[in-house]
Amino acid sequence: MKTIVFAIQKGGQGKSMLATHFAFYAAELKHSVLAVDLDGQGNFSRNLTTEAIDKEASPALSLFEGRKRPALPLSGKFIAPGSAALFSGDHRLVRVDEVPKLLPESLRDSLQSLAPSFDICVIDPPPTLGKRLRAALMAADYVVMPFAPARESVDGLGDLMDTIEAVKKEYNPALQVLGLLANKINSRSLDEKKTLEQIELAAPGMLLPTRIHERTSISSAMAASQPVWARSGGASQRLAAQELRAACASILKTMLIK
Ligand SMILES: Nc1ncnc2c1ncn2[C@@H]1O[C@H](COP(=O)(O)OP(=O)(O)O)[C@@H](O)[C@H]1O
Ligand SMILES: [Mg+2]
């Protein structure tokens, strides 16, 4: 099993949106996908299925508590039976932050015991630089950092990189940083263009070549628990579908070869 986390310590950057599309994408290609929602808001869980989620069946909190639970099989129009399963996120995950005896490395150990049943694991962390994000980085093989190229989002990227480097050094030297994924781009904004150029200068080679523009078809698709490429729409929807497929394809390709 190869594990990826979409990480940034700010909300609204596209972590859950990308985690969802990546999970749909890998499942479509017949990989067996395990989705792990570490955010108490449960956006990733809800994005993946319109069906009611039994919060007691497979709470992500159980991965920290050492209670062995099977993941909840996902079903729905966009997920073939048996292709994906979920550890759902809900507000009780705050216990991970509050209870010292719940260790970040427990997540890695729990996922290791599930590894024989899945090919790809996708972790969606909460929007803070806390224990759950560290746990995700300790358990992951790959990290992608999605960000909306506005000034405030970019300010925290240094802290995130420091956190990643610290986790790599202390716990997980094999963690591969795949790069920064620019999302919610508004191509008419000169400020954003400048911000992207500054990032390229400050961190050469870190910006992934695939970029995703801001389009309402993406938020509508998430609200309907569908991948944007499964919806019909106009030219803008088709471009959104192309961009998301390209981003998912290049990430998955790297994961399968590196
Ligand atoms: N490229 C995009 N275009 C339009 N809406 C987007 C885009 N990326 C994300 N969104 C929407 O923005 C909101 C925040 O995205 P989300 O993935 O939940 O962020 P995060 O998980 O980083 O907090 C969601 O409603 C999502 O559907
Ligand atoms: Mg989220």
For residue range 65-83, list pLDDT tens digits in order. Answer: 988 899 999 988 889 889 9
Identify which ligand lies nearest to the alpha carbon of 243: 1
Say how far apart CA 41 and CA 50 lie, in whole Å.
16
Say how far apart CA 87 and CA 79 lie, in whole Å.
16
Order the strands of the 142-147 sheet from edge to edge: 72-73, 84-87, 33-37, 120-124, 2-6, 142-147, 176-182
pLDDT at 180: 96
Mean pLDDT (the chain, rounded): 95
pLDDT classification of 184: cutoffs 50, 70, 90: very high
Neighbours of ion ligand 2 (CB under 5 A): 15-16, 43
Instruction: Please indicate whether residue 3, judged by its CB atom, sits closer than 6 Å to ligand 1.
Output: no
Kindly report the backbone phi and psi dihedral angles of residue 125, in degrees, each rounded to the nearest multiple of 5, phi listed first: -85, 170
For the stretch 94-140, pLDDT in tens is: 999 999 999 999 999 999 999 999 999 999 999 999 999 999 999 99
- Please state the rounded mean pLDDT for residues 46-60: 95
Instruction: Please indicate whether residue 108, judged by its CB atom, sits closer than 6 Å to ligand 1.
Output: no
Which residue type does 57 have? Answer: A
pLDDT classification of 187: cutoffs 50, 70, 90: confident
DSSP conformation letters of 80-145: -TTSEEEEB--GGGHHHHH-TTS-THHHHHHHHHHGGG-SEEEEE--SSSSHHHHHHHHH-SEEEE
- Domain 2-257 CATH superfamily: P-loop containing nucleotide triphosphate hydrolases (3.40.50.300)
Which residue type does 197 have? Answer: E
What the block records as the tokens of 6 is 């979409």
Domain boundaries, the chain: 2-257
